[in-house]
Amino acid sequence: MKAKFLIPLLLFVVLVGFLAVGLNLDPHEVPSPLINKPAPAFEVPQLGQANKTFSPASMKGQVWVLNVWASWCVACREEHPVLVEIAKSGLVPLIGLNYKDKREDALAMLEKQGNPYLLSAFDANGRVGIDYGVYGVPETYVIDRAGVIRLKHIGPITPEILKQKIYPLVSELQKS
């Protein structure tokens, strides 16, 4: 008779244990299978100049940052001043990937808030985002000279993340 009550109690304790572990995980630290693998290749039109294209192959030999963003994304607007800081620093090229957006809305946002990007690629249908495993915007990738993804950050970049993670990694990669 006691065994009938012990099994549900044991299952409940195990479930609570899994829940406790899950609640302590940082959602921005989702492991990406792309870390230390070549960045997926693509070629899409540029946001500002639809007659020109962008491909990561054009960045080979440079350490660079790819920031996935959209004009409809509230968190992207929050992170925008940090991206402007990256651009002003001149430490690393910042490329935007405008994701599932309307070209005119994206251009209007950059016009209003300032354009921190060397250029923005235009991923209208989200195909490039799928290849990069984008969960949502914003997401940011640090890519090394060989075109290998070294960091994926989910969510807005804060000044702390910039100073503690991105700048040190970029400096280290630029030395090698």
Domains of the chain as residue ranges with CATH: 35-175 (3.40.30.10)
Residue 1 has pLDDT above 70, yes or no: no
**pLDDT confidence of 13, banded at 50, 70, 90?**
confident
**pLDDT of 25:** 54
* Rounded Cα–Cα distance for residues 90 and 86 (Å): 7
* Averaged confidence pLDDT in the chain: 91
Residue 28 has pLDDT above 50, yes or no: no
Residue type present at position 138: P
Q: Of 124, 120, 138, nearest to 28 (Cα)?
A: 138
Both structure tokens of 33: 């299978």
Q: Please give the Cα distance from 47 to 104 (Å, whole number).
A: 9
* Residue 159 predicted with pLDDT over 60: yes
pLDDT band at 30 (very low <50, low <70, confident <90, very high): low
For residues 39-60, b (16+ Cβ closer than 10 Å) or e, as one string?
A: beebebbbbbeeeeebebeebe
Query: Quick check: 150 pLDDT over 60?
Result: yes
CB atoms near residue 16 (< 10 Å):
10
